Amino acid sequence: MVDGGYIASIDVGTTKICTIVAHVAASGQLDILGVGLHPSRGLREGVVVDHAHAVKSVQQSVSAAERMAQLPIGGAYVGVTGAHIKSRNVTGRVRVASGDEITSEDVEQAIQSACDNVALPHDREIIHTLVRDFAIDGQRGVKRPLGMHASRLDANIHVVSAAAGALRNVAAAVEEAGVEVQKQILEPVATSLAVLAEDESDLGVVLMDIGGGTTDLAVFANGAIAHSGAIPVAGNQITGDIAKLLRISYEQAEQVKKQFGTAFANMMNDDDAVLVEEIGTREQVRVPRGLIADIIQARLVEIFQLTIENLQQAGMYDTVTSGVVLTGGGSQLPGTLEMASDIMENTPVRLGSARGVGRGANRVASPIYATGVGLALYAAEEGADASPTSAPSYLEWVEKARSWWRTRVQPRISHYLPEF
């Protein structure tokens, strides 16, 4: 990153849009300059379902971060997630002249050979090719093969792909909000930079980010990513269950979950109760907190069981020797860590919050900011710069003016205008 520059990230989630503006300090840590957190509309399970609402949500989050930082955001690293994300591990091979040193060209060819082994339909795109390790003459576990001597070099690669339409729709929403998408990053990959310790990644750890629409998974072993995926069950399903079973509004159910919810019914006294207002009758009804906990517990059990199934199908369950790191808004309910440990055979479980942050750390202390911080760390590692690169052209100014009128002015004055 250039001297005096800054970076930006946008976590485009199902329930929230989080924009972060940061500067890389001399210590290497991130100084948080601005944070914009705004409820997300127009997305479901990480996929855009209403373009206009998604654009407006991103704009409001970006504007809040710009006001706090007192800096304009020209470009940002943007997170992507959803059940459409798929991953697989592949191997590529290149022959090295007998006895010759392995060169950077050999490494690139081995990686490309691995990518060539991935056959994708036309409606999918590769978003990551992440090196797990290399093997020289069959010996695995090599991290840096440059300069070593071998006759054969294998590259073991973790390839992540996504539905092309879903990627473009998220990018289009961000671009129309006035921010250039510098790169789209798989959210659990970014989150891992913020919450995982190096020794956890070496020993074997699973990262679970329980968001609103999806639970994102990533397994790390031997210091590299070994598996990634997403489960389409998360916090929104818990809220929806509470709303349906108690016959209350979704908004009230979300408030009840956050304020009174727990993962275990046995954490409640028999006489603990909450007053809720039923839809339709508007009557105040007394609901035992134990019942609320039963509803939450059922969904959390499903999330952790689906996680186990996902890891077992990928052959990764037995590699998680250092435990589980939980993050995201859905990880904060009391008792969630204990439940995860119980269901996953007494595996150690801890709550993950953002690391690597200096000034302004208190602004991003909650696990809900972990992905946004991880995206910013990713941007910092790649030397990104969020400042606008040049003055907009006349056509860009016209489009920005149209977007501003459409999303910010027209909704406020529409009730004054005659219908036509």
CATH number of 1-84+163-197+355-420: 3.30.420.40, 1.10.3720.10, 3.30.460.10, 3.40.50.2300? 3.30.420.40
Alpha-carbon distance values, 89 to 161, 225, 314, 318, 379 (Å)? 12, 10, 10, 17, 25
In the prediction, which pLDDT does 66 show?
A: 96
Q: Hey, is 71 helix, strand or coil?
A: coil
Task: Please state, in angstroms and rounded to a whole number, the distance separating the CA atoms of residues 190 and 352.
Answer: 13
C-alpha torsion angle, residues 177, 58, 7, 30 (rounded to 10)? 170
Of the candidates 108, 127, 131, 117, the one whose C-alpha atom is nearest the C-alpha of residue 166 is 127
Bridge partners for 77 per DSSP: 9, 183
CATH architecture of the domain with residue range 86-162: 2-Layer Sandwich (3.30)
With 0-12 / 13-18 / 19 or more C-beta atoms within 10 angstroms meaning exposed / middle / buried, residue 318 is: exposed
How many angstroms separate the CA atoms of 132 and 262, rounded? 38
171 vs 165: CA distance, rounded Å: 10
Measured distance CA(279)–CA(206) in Å, rounded = 40
Enter the pTM of the model: 0.85
- 289 CB-near residues (< 8 Å, 6+ apart): 260, 262, 268, 272, 273, 274
Phi, psi values for residue 241, rounded to 5°: -65, -45
Burial 215-224 (b: 16+ CB within 10 A, else e): bbbbbbbeeb
**Degrees, nearest 5: CA angle 167-169-173:** 120
Distance of alpha carbon 342 from alpha carbon 264, whole angstroms: 12
- HSE (CB half, 13 Å, CA atoms) of 86? 14
Q: Which of helix, strand or coil describes residue 47?
A: strand
Which residue has 């210590």 as its token pair?
A: 27
Looking at residue 5, what is its pLDDT?
85
- The class level of CATH for 235-299 reads alpha beta
DSSP string covering 202-245: HH-EEEEEE-SS-EEEEEEETTEEEEEEEES-SHHHHHHHHHHH
Rounded (10°) CA dihedral 108, 110, 112, 115: -140
Q: Where are the beta strands (DSSP E) in 119-202?
A: 124-136, 139-142, 152-163, 180-186
Which contiguous run of DSSP H or E holds residue 313? Answer: helix 289-313
pLDDT in tens, the chain (420 residues): 334 589 999 999 999 999 999 999 988 899 999 999 999 999 998 899 999 999 999 999 999 999 999 999 999 999 999 889 999 999 999 998 766 889 989 999 999 999 888 888 999 999 999 999 999 998 988 999 998 998 999 999 999 999 999 999 999 999 999 999 999 999 999 999 999 988 999 999 999 999 999 999 999 998 899 999 899 999 999 999 999 999 999 999 999 999 999 998 777 776 789 999 998 888 899 999 999 999 999 999 999 999 999 999 999 988 888 899 999 989 999 999 999 999 988 889 999 988 889 999 999 999 999 999 999 999 999 999 999 874 444 344 445 555 555 555 555 454 444 432
Q: Which of 158, 155, 143, 154 is nearest to 89 (CA)?
A: 158
Which pLDDT score is estimated for 401?
55
Give the three-class secondary structure for 119: coil
Ranges of CATH 3.30.420.40 domains, the chain: 1-84+163-197+355-420, 235-299
Question: For residues 209 and 203, is the Cβ–Cβ distance under 8 A?
Answer: no
Residue limits of CATH 3.30.1490.110 in the chain: 86-162
